[in-house]
């Protein structure tokens, strides 16, 4: 009989302990990683900021200390993800019989040194979108060059496991999140490692993420537009159409998945720019799940991004003929398809007055005409005004899109040559299926950028960097027909991205608001005042976000100044612009020409000064008696009405100490006709005309309490639609004129100045307005 100390129980206990090694204290950092060189020109990626255990959007803002305005790209140290709540890692040999799964899904095994390390998000982080992009490594990448697969699964099995390839120890993966806590298991397997193929794998990490949908932000609507007689099919090769279909149901799945990729990509880019994990949300509906194969097979219902199906009042033939405007320079109407889509969307959504809609439209009837080598029924346009912001794009690349999570990697690595007998090779940059997916998904995202207010940039999505969009979702790039390169490892530095200026715009956009953002002043406008010394004061109620600086002839911005608040730097509501400083930020060749600035507010407002030197010169000043000088603010309105003439009034009360303004008579109808300022001696000054309502409306000041005029709220567009008077005691008059016309602008003198008059232009009514200020 065996001795007691050799009992089976003790033997197992001692054997298990004998496999442990000493604790290692390796950590993960995010320095600049080397990458393989190919024939493509890699886009400059920015580094991922450090992870935080609390909600990053609460206090994660960056103070720009770079004098050139460029976003500093430097390595940031980051604590590695802590799998299973244990900060120690162990080197474990493979024995399939060790340990057993715990009831909560986490194993009792020591953590393997090959457990996946997620680098761009921390345990218990808060996110605000449905689809999240992860990237990470297996072990120490300097020591290991492992190939294999990462399997991402939810511990509650609310979403089926998905597989993502590992290339040279790097991986990228997507996670489908639901509101509340999401407990995620990330497992690595490789034929070169023990336990990879066993029923009890040990190369596993765990991550808990909390998702809160940002329901306080307007959604990006998704819509598919068809002709009124459209059969609802899109271009695809016969083999592909037979395998996965090319009807309307397939189009909805593919378009929805492309939108999820937009969302995940944008959130990751905003995080890398240290602006919080912000992205747009979608309107959702309770429908059959389409994001994975299991949902489709089992008929699982989910809350998915809604795709509106809109029928145009035009036939397919009419739509396909209209796109000649996009294909030929001799065409006269280059916005025909955009206008048709805009009218159809407005009719379908029927927005309420003041309800702004943001809509990405897929033109399903876009068709490759191989005979004339033209994509008919296609237009790539984004923008809009008023109540609708729209981005449209054709469906000619839709055949290459993934339709669910399991198809993302195959879609971005499929080297099947583009058969131009059936489908288009768009701009000769879509010679293979994965490159067609880049062009279709990426170029449509470019138009979404336009609908959110982004102009073209010197780099990023708003240039044409989306031709490498695939690199954000796969760790290895396939052979490229565009560059004739064999591809290879795709690291963060090789990816495309949103330009820093795009991200700053998104930071201020209402569609990118987070649930814990503080409410902002409803007046998003920016005002500018020329002051002493040739300087200009920019003022915004919501604060100044950034200032773009353009040299003469520049069509894109290459220099800017940021004023992003953080814990050490509050919101800047008043900023002084100095011409010498602005010129110094431009390239040397641009410093002597005309300088244009565009001032952006945190509320999303914008003010352009086309010639900074001219605006800051004496032409913006008015000489007052006694040698004093008053300064004009940037004028509102276009001052382009027929017969429009300049008009200016310096208040008598600002020139004479014994006069007090007692009331203002406002003349208005559906626009502002004029203002009459009345003093305590019954003398008057008229600015504009006595038109509109007979006798006008009168606003009285409480002169006994020392109340005086302190500013205006002006509604202006092409002309001056309406005006509201503000007083030193905090009172406001009614909005005289058209209360909802144009856009609102608050004109209040900056600190240290007071209002001393008004100026502008007047035609049939007032079409230009500004205030005069003095020390």
pLDDT tens profile 374-431:
999 999 999 987 789 999 999 999 999 999 999 999 999 999 999 999 999 998 999 9
Which residues in the chain are classed under CATH 2.100.10.30? Answer: 628-774
The 10s digit of each residue's pLDDT in 261-278 is: 999 999 999 999 999 999
Residue 618 pLDDT: 84
Judge whether residue 320 has pLDDT over 70: yes
Task: Say what the pTM is.
Answer: 0.83
| CATH entry, 519-615, from 2.60.40, 1.25.40, 2.50.20, 3.30.70 | 2.60.40
| CATH number 3.40.50.10860 is the correct assignment for the domain at 4-26+80-211 | no
Q: d(Cα 490, Cα 488) in Å, to the nearest integer?
A: 6
Least confident of 122-136, 318-332, 506-520: 318-332
The 10s digit of each residue's pLDDT in 418-449 is: 999 999 999 899 999 999 999 999 999 999 99
| pLDDT bucket at 519, cuts 50 / 70 / 90 | confident
The 10s digit of each residue's pLDDT in 489-501 is: 999 999 999 999 9
369 sits in which H/E element: strand 367-369
Q: d(Cα 45, Cα 471) in Å, to the nearest integer?
A: 11
Active-site annotation holder among 123, 304, 447, 676: 447
CB 322 within 8 A of CB 244: no
Q: d(Cα 637, Cα 137) in Å, to the nearest integer?
A: 56
628-774 — its CATH code?
A: 2.100.10.30
CB 312 within 8 A of CB 392: no
Judge whether residue 228 has pLDDT over 80: yes
The 10s digit of each residue's pLDDT in 29-87 is: 333 333 333 333 333 333 333 333 334 333 333 334 343 444 443 333 333 333 333 33
Tell me what percent of the residues of the chain surpass a pLDDT of 90. 73
Residue 27 pLDDT: 36
Would you list the DSSP string of 144-198?
Answer: ----EEEEEEETT-SS--EEEEEETTEEEEEEE--SEEEEEEEEEE-TTSTTTTS
More confident residue, 59 or 156: 156
Which residues in the chain are classed under CATH 2.60.40.10? Answer: 4-26+80-211
Q: d(Cα 591, Cα 441) in Å, to the nearest integer?
A: 39
The average pLDDT across 358-370 equals 96
CB 652 within 8 A of CB 662: no
The 10s digit of each residue's pLDDT in 571-620 is: 899 999 999 999 999 999 999 999 999 999 999 999 999 999 999 988 88
Residue 17 pLDDT: 39
Q: d(Cα 78, Cα 121) in Å, to the nearest integer?
A: 10
Q: d(Cα 359, Cα 363) in Å, to the nearest integer?
A: 12
The 10s digit of each residue's pLDDT in 12-29 is: 444 443 333 333 333 333
Judge whether residue 683 has pLDDT over 60: yes
Proportion of the chain in helix, strand, coil states, percent, rounded to 5? 20, 30, 50
Task: Judge whether 447 counts as a catalytic residue.
Answer: yes
More confident residue, 14 or 762: 762
Residue 31 pLDDT: 33
The mean of the pLDDT values for the chain is: 85
> How does strand 754-762 pair with strand 766-774?
antiparallel
Residue 197 pLDDT: 62
More confident residue, 250 or 386: 250
Cβ atoms < 10 Å from Cβ of 299: 8
Angle, alpha carbons 671-677-679 (nearest 5°): 160
């Amino acid at each position: 009989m065996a001795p007691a100390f050799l009992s089976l129980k003790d033997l197992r206990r001692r054997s298990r302990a004998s496999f442990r090694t000493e604790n290692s204290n390796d950590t993960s950092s995010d320095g600049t990683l080397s990458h393989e060189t190919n024939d493509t020109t890699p886009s400059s990626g920015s580094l991922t900021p450090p992870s935080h255990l609390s909600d990053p959007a609460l206090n994660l803002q960056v103070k720009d200390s770079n004098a050139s305005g460029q976003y500093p790209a430097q390595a940031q140290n980051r604590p590695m993800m802590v799998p299973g709540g244990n900060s120690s890692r162990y080197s474990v040999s493979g024995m399939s019989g060790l340990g057993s799964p715990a009831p909560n899904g986490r194993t009792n095994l020591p953590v393997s040194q090959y457990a996946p390390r997620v680098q761009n998000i921390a345990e218990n982080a808060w996110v605000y979108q449905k689809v999240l992009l992860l990237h990470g490594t297996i072990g120490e990448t300097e020591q290991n060059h492992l190939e294999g697969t990462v399997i991402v699964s939810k511990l509650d099995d609310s979403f089926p496991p998905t597989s993502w390839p590992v290339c040279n120890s790097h991986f990228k993966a997507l996670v489908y999140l639901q509101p509340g806590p999401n407990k995620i298991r990330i497992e690595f397997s490789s034929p070169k490692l023990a336990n990879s193929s066993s029923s009890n794998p040990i190369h596993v990490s765990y991550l808990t993420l909390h998702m809160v949908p940002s329901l306080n932000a307007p959604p990006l609507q998704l819509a598919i537009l068809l002709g009124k007689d459209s059969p609802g099919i899109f271009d695809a090769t016969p083999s592909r159409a037979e395998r996965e279909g090319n009807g309307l149901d397939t189009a909805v799945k593919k378009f929805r998945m492309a939108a999820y990729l937009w969302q995940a990509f944008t959130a990751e880019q905003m995080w890398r720019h240290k602006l919080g994990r912000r992205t747009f949300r979608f309107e959702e509906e309770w429908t059959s799940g389409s994001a994975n194969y299991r949902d489709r097979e089992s008929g699982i219902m989910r809350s998915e991004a809604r795709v509106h199906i809109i029928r145009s009042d035009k036939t397919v033939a009419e739509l396909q003929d209209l796109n000649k405007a996009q294909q030929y320079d001799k065409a006269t109407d280059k916005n025909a398809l955009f206008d048709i889509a805009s009218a159809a969307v407005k009719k379908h959504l029927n927005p309420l007055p003041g309800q702004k809609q943001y809509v990405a439209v897929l033109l399903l009837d876009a068709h490759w005409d191989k005979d004339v080598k033209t994509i008919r029924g296609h237009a790539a346009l984004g923008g809009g005004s008023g109540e609708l912001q729209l981005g449209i794009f054709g469906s000619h690349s839709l055949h290459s899109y993934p339709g669910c999570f399991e198809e993302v990697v195959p879609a971005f690595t499929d080297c099947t040559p583009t058969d131009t007998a059936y489908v288009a090779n768009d701009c000769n940059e879509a010679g293979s299926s994965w490159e067609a997916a880049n062009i279709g998904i990426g170029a449509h995202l470019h138009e979404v950028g336009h609908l959110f207010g982004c102009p073209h940039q010197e780099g990023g999505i708003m240039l044409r960097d989306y031709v490498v969009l695939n690199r954000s979702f796969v760790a290895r790039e396939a052979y490229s027909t565009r560059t004739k390169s064999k591809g290879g490892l795709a690291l963060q530095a090789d990816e495309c991205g949103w330009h820093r200026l795009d991200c700053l715009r998104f930071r201020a956009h209402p569609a990118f608001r987070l649930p814990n953002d503080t409410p902002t002043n409803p007046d998003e406008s920016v005002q500018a005042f020329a002051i002493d010394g040739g300087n200009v004061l920019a003022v915004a109620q919501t604060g100044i976000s950034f200032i773009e600086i353009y040299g003469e002839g520049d069509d894109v911005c290459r220099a800017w100044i940021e004023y992003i608040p953080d814990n050490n730097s509050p919101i800047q509501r008043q900023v002084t612009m100095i011409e010498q400083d602005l010129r110094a930020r431009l390239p040397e060749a641009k410093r002597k020409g005309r300088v244009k600035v565009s001032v952006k507010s945190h509320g999303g407002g914008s003010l352009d000064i086309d010639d900074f030197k001219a605006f800051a010169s004496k032409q913006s000043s008015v000489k007052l008696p006694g040698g004093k000088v008053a300064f004009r603010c940037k004028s509102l309105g276009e001052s382009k009405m027929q017969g429009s003439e300049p008009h200016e009034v310096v208040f008598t009360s600002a020139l004479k100490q014994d006069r007090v303004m007692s009331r203002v008579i406002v003349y208005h109808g559906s626009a502002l006709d004029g203002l009459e300022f009345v003093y305590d001696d019954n003398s008057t000054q008229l600015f504009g005309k006595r038109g509109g309502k007979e006798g006008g409306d009168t606003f009285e000041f409480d002169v006994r309490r020392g109340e005086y005029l302190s500013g205006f709220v002006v509604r202006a567009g092409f002309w001056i639609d309406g005006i509201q008077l503000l007083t030193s005691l905090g009172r406001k008059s009614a909005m005289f004129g058209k209360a909802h016309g144009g856009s609102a602008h608050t004109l209040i003198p900056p600190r240290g100045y007071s209002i001393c008059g008004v100026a502008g232009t007047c035609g049939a009514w007032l079409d230009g307005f500004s205030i005069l200020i003095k020390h």
